[in-house]
Structure 1
């Protein structure tokens, strides 16, 4: 099977393990896999599924990532597309030096910054995958949502031929458009979620919605357009701004899990509402989204997941 490799050099500091865990969110994630040393995923490039594996090579002075690509057909543009996708997925070009300078000495946030130094803010490969993640995880536990997404990829994701250990790719809009909602219902999706996902896929495929063009919109306009989509409310829209568009000033204030993490971290007795979340985050603006990721890692560490190998 054809194989190529390339070297990526993230802006320092960088830690692959922390960044991958912020992307995966749960050890049950079978789309983004991690064995304690290697991150692997299947990407679709020019219509072809391509397995990628990323390892961090310790080098003096600067972090370095070795990326291996494998597929029966490796498109000519594979290296550049993989580079672009990983820079987005793993936040490789995000410069966190201003964040460290401003808040590294903060009495509350500073210890988390030190503990998780090298965490980069991950983003889903595209806004479609972001929104499907948001829809899947609405009103259920994150673990339940991850299982739904695993089953969606297992049922409809493209696979690397003759590479059975490679995970299925996350479905593209064209993989889902035109499907019977009952096919998603059989995977455990509610009727409303199934219809929302399929409607989104069909609108993207038809050209009625150009999600890529929305990434450059101002926050208010982006949120308005996102909320006009079926099944997308305020939480899902803000989630998309942070995890899909990389807007690091956004903390999804309706995210129950993140809100509870924030409340416990601050030692608040009373639950925080949306407005309370925004007020509580004032000392750390414009980096509310980075607070979100640091609190996520704090919770994962407390649960013992950061040391687990689950590829």
Structure 2
């Protein structure tokens, strides 16, 4: 996922066997591909910044920008980024809107006005609602946080183009309706996040 991954999303034979039984088509793809390692960022602030950077751009572009941010800005912490101007953050290659968003959130957290650590105690829906109260954060960004920081088990994001593309490739579809998506997503429960890891991989094959 990034150059500074410290761990991978935790799953194993139990989740893979369950999904294979629940959806033999997905199971066949999983057997062919083997275990896919998906990097996570345990620190919720760094994960949130990473998700903001990743809004509507390619994974390759995210990697380049993320590495540049570490070189130019230093440690990705609320205190450090709160001390940076939006111009400094934007110079790493993101839009000014994203830079303003990151600077604002860093200040809010640094000033004690928003508690990211509290997210660990909330349900998935509560996490999405709380994060969506921040400027520049929508449902997709919150769902990426659920997977890549909190390692929640059952997240399949309709808002993620790569997941939808992977689903279409898996099932041989030329288009995908929300109703079809919801049916597949329901079949993956309670391990939708593991299915998402494979759908992401499939989308880039």
Q: 1:130 to 1:278 in 2, by over 3 A?
A: farther
Return the index of the structure with the highest Cα Rg: 1
2:35 matches 1:131: no
Q: Is the 8 A contact 1:263 1:272 kept in 2?
A: no
Spell out, residue by residue over 1:85-141, the C-alpha distance to the aligned partner (whole angstroms, 9 max, x if none).
x5xx224xx453432332334421112332344445542121111111111111222
SS in 2 for 1:188: coil
Does the aligned pair in 2 maintain the 1:227–1:233 contact within 8 Å? yes
Deviations 1:176-215 (A, max 9, x none): 1121111122222211100111111112211111111111
Q: Which of residues 50, 62, 72 in structure 2 aligns to 1:155?
A: 72
Root-mean-square deviation over aligned CA pairs: 2.1
Q: Assess, with a 3 A threshold, how the Cα gap between structure 1 residues 257 and 299 changes in structure 2: closer, same or farther.
A: closer
Show the counterpart of 1:107: 24
Q: Which residue of 2 aligns with 1:141?
A: 58
Output aligned runs, 1:1-311, within 5 Å. 24=1, 29=2, 31-32=3-4, 86=6, 89-91=7-9, 94=10, 96-105=12-21, 106-119=23-36, 122-158=39-75, 171-273=76-178, 275-300=179-204, 302=205
Rounded Cα–Cα distance in structure 2 between residues aligned with 1:238 and 1:278: 16
Report the CA distance between 1:242 and its aligned residue.
1.4
| Unpaired stretches in structure 1, ≥5 consecutive residues | 1-23, 33-40, 42-85, 159-170, 303-311
Distance 1:220 1:297 in 2: 26
State the match for 1:72 in structure 2.
none
> Taking structure 2 as the reference length, what is the TM-score of the superposition?
0.88
SS in 1 for 2:105: helix
- Distance in 2 separating the partners of 1:255 and 1:178: 32
Moved over 6 A (4+): none
Q: TM-score, normalised by structure 1?
A: 0.60
More helix by share: 2
Is the 1:124–1:244 contact (alpha carbons within 8 Å) kept by the matching residues of 2?
yes
> In 1, Cα distance between the equivalents of 2:115 and 2:191?
28
Contact 2:30 2:198 in 1 (8 A): yes
Q: Distance in 1 between matches of 2:62 and 2:40?
A: 18
